[in-house]
């Protein structure tokens, strides 16, 4: 045996031992590649972490639905289990009763992840902050420093990507499944039929409100229950990203002169009556299955959001892929700055994983850590790992982050915002599921059958990808 065959590959460095970094470390070690995992806690804390454990859950103890037949996050659980996820393994081992959800004993879960990584001989855990760009000799790095990346590292990343491509707060407007919008009331049109750089002139879905509907809507916004900012979030009202309820509080006409202005649009269902106000929804993903409510970032509680927004004509039956929010959150404009293997285009030795890539949630962050780890290990071993198919939950989420999101269809602010996994990210089926007796399905039965079919397709396609990988 030659020296070269004897020597083990150089280590991959991971910055951040949260959900994504821990999962990435595990996957890389399992591929036979050494890892140095850099975690700044407990030496240096974040504003929300409380312990020195790796993979600490900072808020809820839930990994959400474990239903892999009709829920996209359940499908992601199934895929992560198939890919030997450490996070899912420890979650399964320390689950607590939570109905159809996978919830865990948070300390036992994080202790188990920490213990598994500490006992892995090819993983070295270094406690301490990486307070700037990694040294040049680290040639294969995963940055998984999360939504609360330390300021020194965030500044270094911002300098590399350009400040405009690294956000410190998300300003999330609700996203609606296209097929749940009533096009008998809404219509497609861009303001003044302008095509813009990437559009057609009919890129927005418009929902009209008359005066009474507008007044009732403003009342609901002002009176609706809101979430408070956390102590470390201050009040991040910035760049024209005011929550709609704050705009409504500033004056009853403010929204009508802002995101709800009724100009440059004609309602084809009622062309002789000018709407008093209009809500616009803009295509959010390349598939055209999701639409975001333009300018509707909000701190309303989720229940109040769904109730209030379903009062808008055309959105009475709206199914939300994501509800709105405004949080402290460090994340990249990934579709622009990352390649399809999660590497920074400007410096491909740096790969990103977890929430900093623009996914949202514990499970999603861990899953992107999982695939980033596998990709980094494959690269180190001189192999190429093809991204999982877009028809799988993991592939759909990865594709959303690295390219599925529509960047701009007009010259507005950047629109990429963090996203949970959901069936709206999956390519639509090329058939319509039928009842066992061959009859057409309708309503909730049809929606459920579609989800089952998307889940079955994801399972088959993941299996085929795994067999090739
Ligand atoms: C306040 C808050 C509440 C949330 N609540 C939920 C929830 O209830 N449910 C849910 O599903 N998701 C929630 N999230 C979203 C998100 O899923 C979690 O934050 C998740 O932990 C993200 O995983 P991650 O691995 O990307 O980051 P993290 O789990 O935060 O891990 C990043 C790690 O990097 C370390 N680090 C940062 N900078 C450096 C550095 N320079 N050098 C070394 N180490 C560094 C941090 O200490 C941390 O351990 C919440 C987020 C926030 C901010």
- Show the 3-state SS of the chain: CCHHHHCCCCCEEEECCCHHHHHHHHHHHHCCCCEEEEECCCCCCCCCCCCCCCCCCCCCCEEEECCCCCCHHHHHHHHHHHCCCHHHHHHHHCEECCCCEEEECHHHHHHHHHHHHHCCCCEEEEECCCCCCCCCCCCCEEECCCCCCCHHHHHHHHHHHCHHHEEEEEEECCEEEHHHCCCCCCEECCHHHCCCCCCCCCCEEEEEECHHHHHHHHHHHHHCCECCCCHHHCCCCCCCCCCHHHHHHHCCCCHHHCCCCCCCCCCCCCCCCCCCEEEEEEECECCCCEEEECCCCCCECHHHHHHHHCCCCCCCCCCEEECCEEEEEEEECHHHHECCCCEECCEEEEEECHHHHCECCHHHHHHHHHHHHHHHHHHHCCCCCCCCCCCCHHHHHHHHHHHHECCCCCCCCCCCCCECCCHHHCCCCCCCCECCCCCECCHHHHHHHHHHHHHHHHHHHHHHHHHHC
Q: What is the mean pLDDT of residues 258-279?
A: 95
The three-point CA angle 340-77-374 to 5° equals 40
| 115 CA distance to ligand 1 middle (Å) | 19
Is the predicted pLDDT of residue 20 greater than 90, yes or no?
A: yes
Token pair for 316: 């009475």
| Residue 46 CA, ligand 1 centroid: distance in Å | 9
pLDDT band at 410 (very low <50, low <70, confident <90, very high): low
Asked if residue 20 lies in contact with residue 365, where contact means CB atoms within 8 angstroms, the answer is yes
Q: What is the pLDDT of residue 163?
A: 83
Instruction: Work out whether strand 347-352 and strand 141-143 pair parallel, antiparallel, or are unpaired.
Output: parallel
Residue 230 has pLDDT above 90, yes or no: no
Q: How confident is the model at residue 145 (pLDDT cuts 50, 70, 90)?
A: very high
Does the pLDDT at position 8 exceed 90? no
Ligand 1, pocket residues at CB < 6 Å: 15-21, 38-41, 46, 48-49, 58-60, 129-130, 144-150, 153, 354-356, 361-362, 365
C-alpha 146 – ligand 1 centre gap (Å): 4
Q: What angle do CA 330, 61, 23 make, to 5 degrees?
A: 60
Beta partners for 172? 325
For 383-394, what is the mean pLDDT? Answer: 96
pLDDT band at 233 (very low <50, low <70, confident <90, very high): confident
Question: Residue 272 class from Cβ within 10 Å (0-12 exposed, 13-18 middle, 19+ buried)?
Answer: exposed
Q: Say yes or no to pLDDT of 330 above 90.
A: yes
Residues 6+ apart with CB under 8 A from 12: 28, 33, 34, 35, 36, 140, 141, 142, 376, 377, 380
From the CA of 360, give the closest atom in ligand 1.
Answer: 17
Residue 62 has pLDDT above 70, yes or no: yes
**198 pLDDT above the threshold of 70:** no
Question: Tokens 């579609």 sit at which residue?
Answer: 450
Instruction: State the distance from the centre of ligand 1 to the C-alpha of 64, rounded, in angstroms.
Output: 17
Over range 255-261, report the average pLDDT.
95
Q: Whose CA is nearest to atom 15 of ligand 1?
A: 361
Q: Which of 186-190, 236-240, 249-253, 401-405 has the lowest mean pLDDT?
A: 236-240
Which residue from 145, 149, 329 has its CB within 8 A of the most atoms of ligand 1, so it is best to mutate? 145
What pLDDT band is residue 30 in, cutting at 50, 70 and 90?
very high
Q: By percentage, how much of the chain surpasses pLDDT 90?
A: 79
- pLDDT score recorded for residue 69: 96
Residue of minimum CA distance from atom 49 in ligand 1: 18
- Mutate which of 13, 15, 16, 39 for ligand 1? The one with the most ligand atoms within 8 Å of its CB, which is 16
Across the range 158-162, mean pLDDT stands at 93
pLDDT value at 6 more than 60 = no
Question: Worst-scoring range by mean pLDDT, 119-123, 325-329, 390-394?
Answer: 325-329
Computed over every residue of the chain, the mean pLDDT equals 92
Helix 19-30 to helix 106-118 angle (10° resolution) is 30
Is the pLDDT at 442 greater than 50? The verdict is yes
Contact 166, 336 (CB under 8 A): no
> What per-residue confidence (pLDDT) applies to 414?
57
Residue 413 pLDDT greater than 80, yes or no: no
Residue 2 has pLDDT above 50, yes or no: no
- Whole-number Å distance, alpha carbon 151 to ligand 1 midpoint, is 14
Q: Which atom of ligand 1 is nearest to the CA of 18?
A: 31
- Residue 35 has phi, psi (to 5 degrees) of -130, 140
* CA 47 to ligand 1: nearest atom: 1
Tell me the mean pLDDT in the region 36-49.
95
Query: Ligand 1 centroid vs 455 CA: distance in angstroms?
Result: 28
Mean pLDDT for the stretch of residues 61-77: 97
Separation of alpha carbons 250 and 257, rounded Å: 12
Q: Name which residue sits closest to atom 24 of ligand 1, judged by CA.
A: 146
* Mean pLDDT of the region 378-382: 97
Question: 365 alpha carbon to ligand 1 midpoint, in Å?
Answer: 9
| pLDDT score of 4 | 44
């Amino acid at each position: 045996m030659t020296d070269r065959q004897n020597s083990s590959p150089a280590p991959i460095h991971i910055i951040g031992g949260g959900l994504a970094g821990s999962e990435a470390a595990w996957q890389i070690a399992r591929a036979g590649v050494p890892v140095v995992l850099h975690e700044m806690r407990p030496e240096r804390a974040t504003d929300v972490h409380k312990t020195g454990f790796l993979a600490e859950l900072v808020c809820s103890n839930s990994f959400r639905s474990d239903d892999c037949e009709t829920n996209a996050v359940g499908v992601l659980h199934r895929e992560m289990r198939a890919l030997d996820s450490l996070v899912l393994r420890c979650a399964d081992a320390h689950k607590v009763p939570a109905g159809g959800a996978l919830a865990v004993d948070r300390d036992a879960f994080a202790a188990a992840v920490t213990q598994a990584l500490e006992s892995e001989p090819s993983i070295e855990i270094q406690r301490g902050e990486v307070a700037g760009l990694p040294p040049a000799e680290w040639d294969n790095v995963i940055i998984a420093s999360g939504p609360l990346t330390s300021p020194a590292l965030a500044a270094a990343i911002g300098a590399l990507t350009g400040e405009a491509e690294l956000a410190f707060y998300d300003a999330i407007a609700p996203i609606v499944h296209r097929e749940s919008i009533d096009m008998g009331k809404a219509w497609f049109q861009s303001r003044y039929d302008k095509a813009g750089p990437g559009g057609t002139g009919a890129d927005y879905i418009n929902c009209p409100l008359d005066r009474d509907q507008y007044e009732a809507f403003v009342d609901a916004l002002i009176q609706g229950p809101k979430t408070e900012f956390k102590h470390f979030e201050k009040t991040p009202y910035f760049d024209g990203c005011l929550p709609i309820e704050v705009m409504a509080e500033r004056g009853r006409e403010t929204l009508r002169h802002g995101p709800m202005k009724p100009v440059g649009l004609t309602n084809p269902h009622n062309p002789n009556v000018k709407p008093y106000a209009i809500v616009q929804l803009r295509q959010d993903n390349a598939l055209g299955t999701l639409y975001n409510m333009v300018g509707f970032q909000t701190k309303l509680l989720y229940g109040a959001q769904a109730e209030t927004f379903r009062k808008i004509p055309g959105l009475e039956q709206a199914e939300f892929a994501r509800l709105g929010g405004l949080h402290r959150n460090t994340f990249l404009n990934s579709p622009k700055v990352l390649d399809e293997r999660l590497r920074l285009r400007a410096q491909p030795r740096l790969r990103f994983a977890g929430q900093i890539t623009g996914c949202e949630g514990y499970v999603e962050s861990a899953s992107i850590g999982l695939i980033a780890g596998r990709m980094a290990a494959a690269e180190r071993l001189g192999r190429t790992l093809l991204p999982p198919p877009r028809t799988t939950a993991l592939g759909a989420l990865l594709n959303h982050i690295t390219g599925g999101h529509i960047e701009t269809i007009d010259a507005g602010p950047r629109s990429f915002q963090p996203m949970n996994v959901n069936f709206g990210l999956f390519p639509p089926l090329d058939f319509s599921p039928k009842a066992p007796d061959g009859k057409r399905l309708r309503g909730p039965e049809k929606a459920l059958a579609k989800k089952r079919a998307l889940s079955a397709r994801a399972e088959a396609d993941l299996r085929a990808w795994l067999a090739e990988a």
